[in-house]
Structure 1
């Protein structure tokens, strides 16, 4: 699929983009009006917004409709050549996928000389891209105290608090709304504990303080025991009830962070090779251009990262639905392919239990941007994973240990998905967007890639790189992939992302909530 996404000078002046010879639709580069002639006798019928689809041939009701050479849905009524194809005449439907496990597996590319970035090497050999002190909470009830502790160290509020610690990126409180009124032996609490533990041991944290209430289901001792964590100089805990109330807890927490700062400040960045980079792949606010520009360009960067020994985590299981067969073909073994399909089947059953449909995604904004069905959205989304082999599949927030392209089972909701990736070890996030996003992440920096130049011009203060150059015909996907890879290395070396400059990250910690709340 990636080969048909490459744009060149010959297609740059065309008003539409055709992605595959078998496609039934083309994509408008800009808004098209009725009567516009597109060549080969094709005339636009009615208004077609930028990023939206129009038919290149007559389609009968019930006929499959293809984009990327793949089925994106079925015509719900007859469609004439040149007609706008969208929610009014296209819908999802059942069809057979050929999973062909491992048929697309190929020898892994290996860089002759590995790229480097300036990383933070921890005592146990793990490598971070940032140097924060984190405050985690066992339960929603301790969130206010945790945030108050972190606020004391905000440079904008209290410039002197970290004045003597220039190597500390900040003190962040990552709070959540869970931790009680759940089954103490259930899946929901186990998932929360796994997520918190992933953050507690994350290399972007120099030290962590866990704050609880004291009577919650998610007892701190139970969290530590179940996840193999132990208190020490870099991991401290306290509860509001044992400390004697909120004010005393805040005061004690501030003193505890002060005690952690000298050791945290002793770190120095040093050259490390790119194999230590673990990148979580996200897309949010997608549009009709996402699968043409930003996503495949990020995929080209991922191919480079993997060749240099690094790891990329593709996620958002509901947003690969309908395109999972493209990943199973790249699986290194049938077992890995079946692990992915098992997660797809879980989501199908989950949605059935909840009286929901996987086609509830795309969102209203996705549809306004030209995406019609989840099948179409997924085919564009998997392009973020590049073309390398799929080496393993992980559950939500599981520690990622394999190098290469892996998949982590997460919801499509960006904060929940990225939280799982960071818990699994991602020390950088790359986030593509077509409608515009103000997302940020802590402790892992997040780079945002815009799919179109209009977005870049409108929301440059939130977007780190413009991938609309592919749509404009001024840059190839391969060249843009190299640029993104270099930006990854720069961000991992300490260059601040747009979202970091705005202070995003603390509110985007959203663990996946499973199980009954009682």
Structure 2
């Protein structure tokens, strides 16, 4: 008689003693019994099921935090998801700075280093690109034409010290008000890219008649023409061909000096790490996000900086950040941005719970509160030292926050404009993303997506569910951050991602 093999019991996880739900780490089939609880219908992996009776209107608790409320009575073992969970407002205790603590940096002799490009202003780049920055969508094509011309010429092969030429193109710059919030955001974003340490030199090109005038930009930011920054417009040059010729000739003049730059040993305090997540799933809060939080805390101890963003995706978890604010003022600034978003969505006919996306829900996330708890985990446990508006220059060290939309390309554009010279991006559904001039490290939240998208994913965090300690996974991420900062190429760089992901946040009417 053949040996009978007992079916493996699906793994589940209760994240807090307060929780009235558990997470199915493996798919639970109909009719299974988990810890004595009968499962009446299939529960997909990454999704939740009730551990006890939950009355209509009662809170659903995960991580010991409210993620929603039961829209109908929920029996033990029942699948807990969008069909029986609703969201409504409730009081949150911001407890400003209650959990702030004296941060302990490593002694100077123990702090790490990386190999980067030291710029004349003292900042450090992790890459050495030339940039073609556009002031308006009308100059996007000439920027692309010029970059393609240089690539076709073969000239770049003579300058191995250059990582490439990046056309930074976008869909705005005109049809907008000449003052106000939207204009200020675009100005800060373009200024942040024009001065980004991952660019050795930049040519900025406009049409000439757009609302966003290069001359005004230079005047307001005190920008002068130099060997590493030049400007022109299509109308002044006399058309497309002459503009492309002028851009390429300027870049050819910049190439020798830029290529002569060499990496040198720099302190990790010069690293500014953007924390991003996209295509999240039910595993994000269990594996990649908290592991990235560990890596973030490690960088902070070395004197570096990490930037958490995506305000609509920390909504409902902001009280966990305000408790860690270094001061009450920092915490209140974060809450002020939350209030701004509540007003912004209301006057535009939206709501803060427009998240999770269909893909997030398929992966097991039910409400924005649940998604936010996972997203906030990327910030580790360090004090929150500062809060910035979109694309503001990040000057504080340690863990900081930048107000951005949740849409990944827009959020990352703001972080890079603020000075991020490296990105870590977690994903459970399989986001494909790059962000020139800043390299992006992709972290898979589960082993399945890592296996299916190995060419896109840099690290598999799914093995945390198999017993790999979060501290070890965080150290693995941190070590890769240092190597990438020193020149190791990421999977998204190898694939060529990053030319189309510059997406400034457009606020206000398009006119």
The normalised TM-score by structure 2 is 0.97
Q: Who is 2:127 aligned against? A: 130
Task: Summarize deviations over 1:381-406 as a string: whole Å, max 9, x none.
Answer: 00000000000000000000000000
**1:500 aligned to 2:496?**
no
Name the CA distance, whole Å, in 2 between partners of 1:436 and 1:517: 32
Name the CA distance, whole Å, in 2 between partners of 1:169 and 1:81: 57
**1:83 aligned to 2:69?**
no
**1:153 aligned to 2:150?**
yes
Q: 1:168 aligns with which of 152, 162, 167?
A: 162
Q: Who is 1:114 aligned against? A: 111
Task: Summarize deviations over 1:37-59 as a string: whole Å, max 9, x none.
Answer: 221x2122201001000111110
Q: Who is 1:139 aligned against? A: 136
State the secondary structure of the residue aligned to 2:157: coil
Name the CA distance, whole Å, in 1 between partners of 2:489 and 2:29: 42
Q: Who is 1:222 aligned against? A: 216
Q: Who is 2:482 aligned against? A: 489
**1:254 aligned to 2:248?**
yes
**1:339 aligned to 2:333?**
yes
**1:88 CA displacement:** 0.3
State the secondary structure of the residue aligned to 1:149: helix
Query: Conserved in 2, the CA contact under 8 Å of 1:152 and 1:161?
Result: no
State the secondary structure of the residue aligned to 2:276: strand
**1:29 aligned to 2:22?**
no
RMSD between aligned residues = 1.1
Task: Summarize deviations over 1:483-503 as a string: whole Å, max 9, x none.
Answer: 100010001001001110011
State the secondary structure of the residue aligned to 1:162: helix
Task: Summarize deviations over 1:223-250 as a string: whole Å, max 9, x none.
Answer: 1112232211110011111111011111
Q: Who is 2:41 aligned against? A: 46
Q: Who is 2:96 aligned against? A: 101
State the secondary structure of the residue aligned to 1:173: strand
Q: Who is 1:183 aligned against? A: 177
Task: Summarize deviations over 1:359-384 as a string: whole Å, max 9, x none.
Answer: 11110000000000000000010000
Q: Who is 2:400 aligned against? A: 406
Query: Conserved in 1, the CA contact under 8 Å of 2:10 and 2:26?
Result: no
Q: Who is 2:5 aligned against? A: none
When structure 1 is superposed on structure 2, of 219-228 and 339-348 the one drifting more is: 219-228
Name the CA distance, whole Å, in 1 between partners of 2:323 and 2:239: 57
Runs (4+) of structure 1 exceeding 4 A deviation are none
State the secondary structure of the residue aligned to 1:248: helix
State the secondary structure of the residue aligned to 2:19: coil
Q: Who is 1:20 aligned against? A: 16
Query: Conserved in 2, the CA contact under 8 Å of 1:134 and 1:207?
Result: yes
Name the CA distance, whole Å, in 1 between partners of 2:225 and 2:462: 48
**1:128 CA displacement:** 0.4
**1:266 CA displacement:** 1.0
Query: Conserved in 1, the CA contact under 8 Å of 2:111 and 2:302?
Result: yes
Q: 2:63 aligns with which of 61, 68, 71?
A: 68
Task: Summarize deviations over 1:11-60 as a string: whole Å, max 9, x none.
Answer: x9861011111111111111111122221x21222010010001111101
Task: Summarize deviations over 1:459-506 as a string: whole Å, max 9, x none.
Answer: 011111000011222x11110000100010001001001110011111
**1:274 aligned to 2:271?**
no
Task: Summarize deviations over 1:327-377 as a string: whole Å, max 9, x none.
Answer: 000001100000000000000000110110111111000000000000000
**1:125 CA displacement:** 1.2
Query: Conserved in 1, the CA contact under 8 Å of 2:313 and 2:368?
Result: yes
Name the CA distance, whole Å, in 2 between partners of 1:227 and 1:318: 30
**1:432 aligned to 2:426?**
yes
Task: Summarize deviations over 1:261-287 as a string: whole Å, max 9, x none.
Answer: 011011111111110000011100000
The normalised TM-score by structure 1 is 0.96
Name the CA distance, whole Å, in 1 between partners of 2:291 and 2:32: 30
State the secondary structure of the residue aligned to 1:366: helix
Task: Summarize deviations over 1:189-238 as a string: whole Å, max 9, x none.
Answer: 22111100000000000000001001111110111112232211110011
Name the CA distance, whole Å, in 2 between partners of 1:57 and 1:13: 20
Query: Conserved in 1, the CA contact under 8 Å of 2:278 and 2:426?
Result: yes
Q: Who is 2:52 aligned against? A: 57
Task: Summarize deviations over 1:164-189 as a string: whole Å, max 9, x none.
Answer: 21110000001011111211122212
Name the CA distance, whole Å, in 1 between partners of 2:389 and 2:221: 15
**1:153 CA displacement:** 2.8
When structure 1 is superposed on structure 2, of 226-235 and 405-414 the one drifting more is: 226-235
Gaps of 5+ in 2: 1-7
Query: Conserved in 1, the CA contact under 8 Å of 2:10 and 2:28?
Result: no
Name the CA distance, whole Å, in 2 between partners of 1:314 and 1:230: 33
State the secondary structure of the residue aligned to 2:90: coil
